[in-house]
A and B are shown apart, each in its own frame.
Chain A
């Protein structure tokens, strides 16, 4: 990871203090002002105050795996909801239109999301908070940095979030492959308990929280929040039907709120420096804060940078990632992981925030850019992506279970010079059959995003594979 130094604390709150290849210890984190926000919040803020600050900060969810976690909140709650909270019986009214499913939790206001947790003395208990650290979206390597580099920042963010929603128990859901993060988080949790930041009556307050680390056993679908809940319960991680939504019926049937690692890591800084400061970090009108942006592929300096939300792809690719490697030109890029639509060089100047990227026909997703260069076959790249999604399908619903392998096989045939002209129609048809509303969760619709944009932008290459009976990029 490329951690640059030199900026002031107020510019890159998430990564400013990271050390190369070591986690901040508790003492080091405290020296940077760590746990001050928690101390102040427990002393002088109500849970509602805290939720208000997060809501005012316009912190939007940084998950972006392309699942339907956010669309359920597709209506915008009015101001009143923050103060009165949503009673459980009203939650089920919030049924998303099927055609709206399949986008992303990214972009949804975190403060609003917290407001959906039932509140008050008569709310069901225990309530749960889960940090989603199942980062498995191909091309995405942003949460790893925060998990490995500053687990206390995440833990403080979780305690604050738990206080805001009055959760009793919290879990960090971590993918197995992040072995280094697992060791460091486990140590940090012990440190936090010993220092009185976790457990009963935290820092002498009335608030108590238990925090556990759950290390999964590897499966992409665990990143979908309802599948994640099944995984936490020790079951097969198939998604659940919605409604009921997690704040009504979550893990073990109790109210549950799931947030991404980057989202939660922003929370202590917002509480410490305020909503206006957080908004001022951003170049985007609608979404506050910084964003972890990454670039992989044939650039000079692949890496990850914390930059103002709304930084352009051009700046990220050409300044931070050092531009294309000699002998390679930029043909297209996926702006935020495998399940986002391709963008072209003509899109380089759009600010990478949720709204602007959507206007350009794609999604910000996880904000980690994957570069398609001019010497890499677009059909081969989409084949790799669809092969992944076919394997990642949980098998629960037929369109996804059967449609994705079919898509991958057609693409393989094209790559091997065995494509026929009707293949392109069949691929096009699949982008409809597996579109939002036709599948149980958003995995398959997400899988169709790179495919449908590739069919649009690289049609000539697809046809050439059929006409020449071979992949033109293979010698």
Chain B
């Protein structure tokens, strides 16, 4: 039984090596060929011979100079399908059309494979160090190999971090979306908005400065952050593309505003604005006071406004302290 297990394990090891190599150098084999070679395991009438054959193929692929192409293509996160051996078709086909499988939903498996590769690389580094120490490997060759493996280890560690980040952000996003949907379900078909609803839905509101100060017709950004989903802008609130006529009108209005603002700043600098404000306020104050007095008189007649002096006089009274039971 032990021998059989070891035979199968060796074959599986070579298959894993094949997966790793074809993932690193997808240009070497097309997806149908990768599937065929993986499937050939099930056609082997002589397993040790098949393992040897695959090992030779892996060695040749490893020695090949075709490197991983630039990963400028789109990244994909695979989910909803168990990515277990031998279900390798979906990742192979995705890679064949130029997509990069950034993470699997079952990320623990991939992480384990990457961690295993890091360990393997560390073992190789130890071995080449020993070879160098025993004089079997020249110093120059050792330095080159050491640098190469150090780089590979760094890349693998970065890949683990990237995978963990991708999966954690996916998990977080999923949980938040579920909570937000539950909240919407809770208030489905509401008739009046209450403070509790607002507090439950809205995390924060950021009100920015006006885009142009001292201007009545300016714009101002208000950001509304919802709980669980963050800043959400309904499509009707998003930027719309203006027609050429509207753009021209907008430009003309902005120019006018700029001119007025520059004139205001010049007046402020020369002191003429302050002089104008003083003259204008002196004229406006008696008018405003008269208007205010007329409004107050009207309110007093209707009994809406009452002065303290017009209330009936009362003596101050002490507060009544209620007796408390002793503990």
Q: Do A and B bind each other?
A: no
